[in-house]
Amino acid sequence: MKKNIADIARIAGVAKSTVSRYLNGGSVSEATRRKIEQVIKDTGYIPNTFAQSLKAKKTSMIGAIVPRLDSFASSQTVTGMDEELRELGYQLLIINTGQDLGREIEALHDLARQKISGIVLFATQVTEKHLTAIREINVPVMLLGQQHNEVHSFVYNDYMAGYEVGRYVLSMGHRKIAYLGVTERDVAVGVQRKEGFRKALAECADPNVMVSFYESGFKMSEAVSAASAVLGSSKPSVIVCATDNIALGVMKAASMRRLRIPEDLSVTGFGGYDVTEIIHPGLTTVKYNYAESGHLAAKHIVKLVNDQQVEPLTVLGYQFIERESVDKK
Amino acid sequence: MKKNIADIARIAGVAKSTVSRYLNGGSVSEATRRKIEQVIKDTGYIPNTFAQSLKAKKTSMIGAIVPRLDSFASSQTVTGMDEELRELGYQLLIINTGQDLGREIEALHDLARQKISGIVLFATQVTEKHLTAIREINVPVMLLGQQHNEVHSFVYNDYMAGYEVGRYVLSMGHRKIAYLGVTERDVAVGVQRKEGFRKALAECADPNVMVSFYESGFKMSEAVSAASAVLGSSKPSVIVCATDNIALGVMKAASMRRLRIPEDLSVTGFGGYDVTEIIHPGLTTVKYNYAESGHLAAKHIVKLVNDQQVEPLTVLGYQFIERESVDKK
DNA sequence: CTGAAAGCGCTTACAG
DNA sequence: CTGAAAGCGCTTACAG
């Protein structure tokens, strides 16, 4: 037989409000406290979440809106967030949007409607519609992966990472360089990394440097075709890729053309996916600590939810990892 | 200004109950219907989920209890489930247990408490505690990946897959064989695959066949050390691994010892992770269609939730993929 | 088809 | 510290 707060109150011989106070840490005398405690233990009473939320008008849930769950970066980040939120007494509700921007807007509203306390949006693009939704819902929102001055943001230092990769490639003696990027609508991945890379080039005095820029989709299969185009049109000594996935596609395309890496073609990536370490040769790349970012993001959103001060922009570090995929020229 | 059902009723000039009936598809006259529809549109009214659930005592949420999100199999399966559930008008709530069996039990209770309609448990082990919890919560539960005759189950045909791998390895002429498995507490992965493999061996008449069995953890790093032990003690011509992750670890260990694959050592896996296709040489393995399983599992749990007939056990197929990691002896 | 009323299980001022 | 009462926003018999 399912018990409610009235049952507990009756059995314990107190009022419902007293039980409620006990449950929510209000002031209750030691004697009553013990009585109620006992009854709750005996009956196995569990408060009804809906009734609580209906009155309290909030929950201790944090929502994560994720474009895709089946990516290394997302799943690592979500796992990190989940661990931290559990520590902090919150539950994570994950919404998968299948890379559909429209569904991100829907998700924002859905979560607000469910009285979620806060939302972390794994952003790829921040459109006007996103901003409108964020303003409307009146729930703290944090952007992860992109930044906007109106919204609390968490980004990786993609610009510096791009710069470092550029410097490295040049220092290894490469002069005929191809950059295989992604759409500029993704500011972090499509613009920042490329601009940082460009800066390194601009600083290089050597007049022999030749760079061509190409664009690929995010999927490995798309990268394979993009790489084939690059290799067909020019003969770069290195292809700098905007993501590890793209780099993997390039390596695949190279092996299909019987090009050896790094002897015939050097490759670099961004991301630091586990795979990049397993494959042979190991991929030189920039590693982001996704799990840690997840933890941090969780801490921040909880602060926001509790009206604590949080810096509007957090820039996360990275680690440049040199492996075997780039040859010295 | 946030509107509630009473506001809508007042504005539309009808009773709250009529609005509720309209919302829930009860019988309402054409005229009233139009009036209410208009008011709802004008006000942007959205019913409060908690109040609904409080009365209706159920939600249209399905819970997924997942040991870890950052694994290829889980994330693919979850994504598939999510897509299907969305189609069916349900929302997926994902709980990550971080491979802690105790937290699986907690999660079962938590979800039940939140009046989740149904639960899919991504199982690795089914203990007595699991069964007790499942019996107690009175919410339909489905097991994914393991089977138990008391609970609706979804499993892969691991036995047949193991058998097929065994036959293949023998047909390629291997006689000195090492099997690197996992704990038998995981019945599907630890027992079924091995037993299927054993059956193939038992059917082989050749008296020269020599097999040794070893055990590894699930992590690639653990597999690397396990593999080193195997390679140190015996000189198998092939290592049959119980998962792709383990196979990857073996390949890594082999390359550290300067063993060429497949010339010096052949390797096989189970799982069909995307990586296995990218690496060089490609890994010969058994591929499970996780995304599709996710879709199917979603359909089943929804049927269960709606008291429809569902077969107690569903066995999912697999696909044997021959690539380059096994040499002909 | 429609409405008035009771109730779901809590929380929260308010008064004592 | 404690209790009675009102109310959160819905749904659901019941009567008409």
What tens-digit pLDDT sequence spans chain B (329 residues)? 578 888 888 888 888 888 888 887 777 888 888 888 888 888 888 788 788 877 777 677 899 999 988 888 999 999 999 999 988 878 888 888 888 899 899 888 878 877 788 999 999 999 999 999 998 888 899 999 999 999 999 999 999 999 999 999 999 999 999 999 999 999 999 999 999 999 999 999 899 999 999 999 998 889 999 999 999 888 999 999 999 999 999 998 998 899 999 999 999 999 999 889 888 889 999 999 999 999 999 999 999 988 888 999 999 999 999 999 999 98
Confirm whether any atom of chain D, the nucleic acid strand, is less than 7 Å from CB of A55: yes
Alpha carbons A34 and B258: distance in angstroms, whole number: 68
Q: Going edge to edge, which strands form the sheet with B141-144? A: B91-96, B61-66, B118-122, B141-144, B152-156, B313-316
A39 touches strand D (CB under 7 A): no
Tokens read off for B319: 């696909």
Find the residue closest to C4 using CA and C1' atoms: B15
Q: What is the rounded CA–CA span in Å between residue A54 and residue A141?
A: 22
Which stretch of DSSP H or E encloses residue A150?
none
| Residue B298 touches chain A, beta carbons under 8 Å | no
Average pLDDT over residues A131-156: 93
Give the HSE-up count for residue B120: Cα atoms under 13 Å, Cβ half-sphere: 32
Q: Which two tokens stand for residue B274?
A: 């995307």
The answer to whether strand D lies under 7 Å from the CB of residue A4 is no
Q: What is the nearest nucleotide to B15, using C1' and CA?
A: C3
Do residues A268 and A197 lie in contact, with contact meaning Cβ atoms separated by under 8 Å? no
| Total number of residues shown for chain B | 329
Nearest CB neighbour to A280, from listed B91, B113, B255: B255
Over the stretch A216-265, which tens digit does the pLDDT of each residue have?
999 888 999 999 999 988 899 999 999 999 999 999 899 889 999 999 99
Pairing of strands B319-321, B285-287: antiparallel
Task: State whether residue B311 is helix, strand or coil.
Answer: coil
**Exposure on the CB side of residue A169, measured as CA atoms within 13 A:** 38
Cβ separation A278–B220 shorter than 8 A: yes
**Chain A CB within 8 Å of residue B94 CB:** yes
Q: Rounded to the nearest 5°, which phi and psi values hold at B300?
A: -65, -45
